[in-house]
Structure 1
Amino acid sequence: MTHPSTPGRTLSVVLAGGGTAGHISPLLAIAGAIVDQRPGTRITAVGTEAGMETRLVPAAGYTLRTIDRVPMPRRPSIDLVKLPVRLVRAVRQARAIVAEAGADVVVGVGGYVSTPVYLAAWSRRVPVVIHEANARPGIANRVGARIAATVAVAFEGTGLADAVLVGMPMRRSIADLDRAAERGSARASLGLDPDRPTLIVTGGSSGAASVNRAVAGAVPALVAAGVQVLHITGRGKPVLDGDGSRLTLEGYHQVEFVDGMERVYAAADLLVARAGAATVSEVSAVGVPAVLVPLPHGNGEQRLNAAGLVEAGGALLVEDADLGPDWIRREALPLLADPARLATMSAASRAQGVRDGDRRMAGLVLAAAEDKR
């Protein structure tokens, strides 16, 4: 058998994950680091027809193959009844992809698409390497961890056996960001004043209605105090004034989306955001002071994601129900007027950051491929 390290042999890596940016971004970061460490590696990504991967993976220059989406219901439902048939069909599709790719190793980042690919790899005796982004693992990775050669995590305390802490794989433009050096150009590119205290608010690509309402109510006080606000509202979720028109005030800027979050991190004196795993990891990698607002539903993973950074003093945590205009006026406004406290938070945040998660993951993936016999 030809060994993966044989000179001239093309290594084949299949990566599974999709649906949201939270899965696709680390997947692409891992792929890029693998190719950097082993040029010429053939990358095949597996997703579904319904996810963001249909746009983002080809744009990054990688081959995308799709399988059927297999929801993993947490409680009795029609999806639970349909699960066995759906799973068998998706595993069959994934087996064909793994075989055609001649995969030396399969890498999964969780989500609906990953379980069938893990099972397909296991059935073909292809090693599986898993990355779990959240402090509380999802169903797919809890299942996959039982058959994986290596399990890597972004946060301590996931409960996954023999997990290796690697941090979050992220784009180098974020991991290598020098906020101070890039602040001026980032603010200019976002249409912001280079010298005013700057609050940036984001609820993620889909937006967060409760966060939007809280910020909208606090905007008059913020701009009156000399703070400029960049409000990333989410697609199709503009913030409206009382007469139904878009809210406009001098110093308040609302956009639905920003391409390149490194510009946001560089421009912000303070960031208000959800506590998704990628956001928490990126905030700490670049050292931006943050107010983290965990999702009020789900399995509580966002609160756990934020816990270490909050405990270290790099971020404040506020529950979704408590975030209102009064809280922003009472807590965020004084913080924005206190450069020394912001600097302390920034240093504490950056000290928690892991900036080479992509490279650590690539090393684990290549080691698993080398161990294959």
Structure 2
Amino acid sequence: MSASTDPQRFFESDAFIEKRERRAAKSGNKFGNPIVLKSKILAAVVDPSSPSTSILVAEAAGKVRRVNLETSTVTRTYNGPTTPISCLTVGGQTNNVVYAGSWDKTVWSWDLLTGEPLLRFKGHSDFVKALLWTRISGIDVLISGSADKKIIVWDANTGARLHTIQDPAAIMMSIQDLVLDPVLSTPDEAVVLSASSDPHIRRWRITKDSYEQLSEIDPDLSGAERSTIREHETSVYKLVFEDGDEEGDLWTASADGSAKCLSRAKHFTTEDEFVHGDYLRGVVPTGTWVVTAGRDEDVKVWDRSSGKLYCVLVGHFDEITDLVLLEDPKGLRHRVCSVSIDGTIRTWPLAREELDTVVKEIQEASARQLGEEKKEDANGESGMTAEEEAELAALMED
């Protein structure tokens, strides 16, 4: 490290020094079989060509990488942007196109297998934060959300802009996520939900020629309509519809520190809540578990039936930015993948026996570290200078 970039050559608060030292001590752990990349990882999605063993990640260095989790290797790098990539999706009729939203206010695209650059979508006036691909009336459609508070609907094959969407009744905040409603969407119209840096979730019905904002019944107001869904106190970062869920309930992760299941049958009001404790970037529901992660660096696994915390998976040493579910083709050994600003990808088992083994390893490592610290204390390594120890001894005599 050069003198100009060494953080110890600059003024640092005691809290920042403690945080830096803690992360440095934690960075060498091997929990989750870390794959180390070259820069901060801001988002991840499953690689549809190999959904149980490969993911695509977005880096702050402006790269998109395809990573094989079994071999811990980067199998493809998608080049072009020079600013951070904040979101990803995969589309095309054969899931063969990678789309990446960038801080340069555009959306880049590449051929998934060859890495060949394709269309670039220009129209936003601020960072692109969320992407979604779908089909409407036989047209491949890309939907992007931005910090400019707008949602743009594009013809994915030509780059033509079809719609620019904003809430007509209020000024939306920065768009954080987009998800397709699998229950209400049809071949000719897409029902899309948007989350933003305000607490509101909005629903949109989009066709080839038009769009409209949908309202929802408000159970608290005797059946009156509400224009947005508000179940959180502040920003909503993630929206998830669980695969195979016939009821089509919505899962959310918020900066208020909670993940929630919003019941469709109850007009998207809270059915279950899991309080992680710090603001959340990701939530993954499975048949057995609910997995949450965010700023506090920990992956938490909750027992879905009881609602209780089952275990904490410690490994990352900086904020976790995304979670990805890796589904086993046989449905027996699902795994969850976490990515972080610390530049690592970590993979965690979800089969109960394997999960218990990982938790035991983490606990044993923590116990060893605690034992070493106590041993140092017993050997008189107090961390004080000779003068400080003499002063303390004099005070004790008095």
Indicate the structure with greater helix content: 1
- Same fold at TM > 0.5: no
TM-score category (smaller protein): under 0.3
Larger RCO (CA under 8 A, 6+ residues apart):
1
If you compute each CA radius of gyration, which structure gives the higher value, 1 or 2?
2
Indicate the structure with greater strand content: 2
The two structures have a TM-score, normalised by structure 2, of 0.22
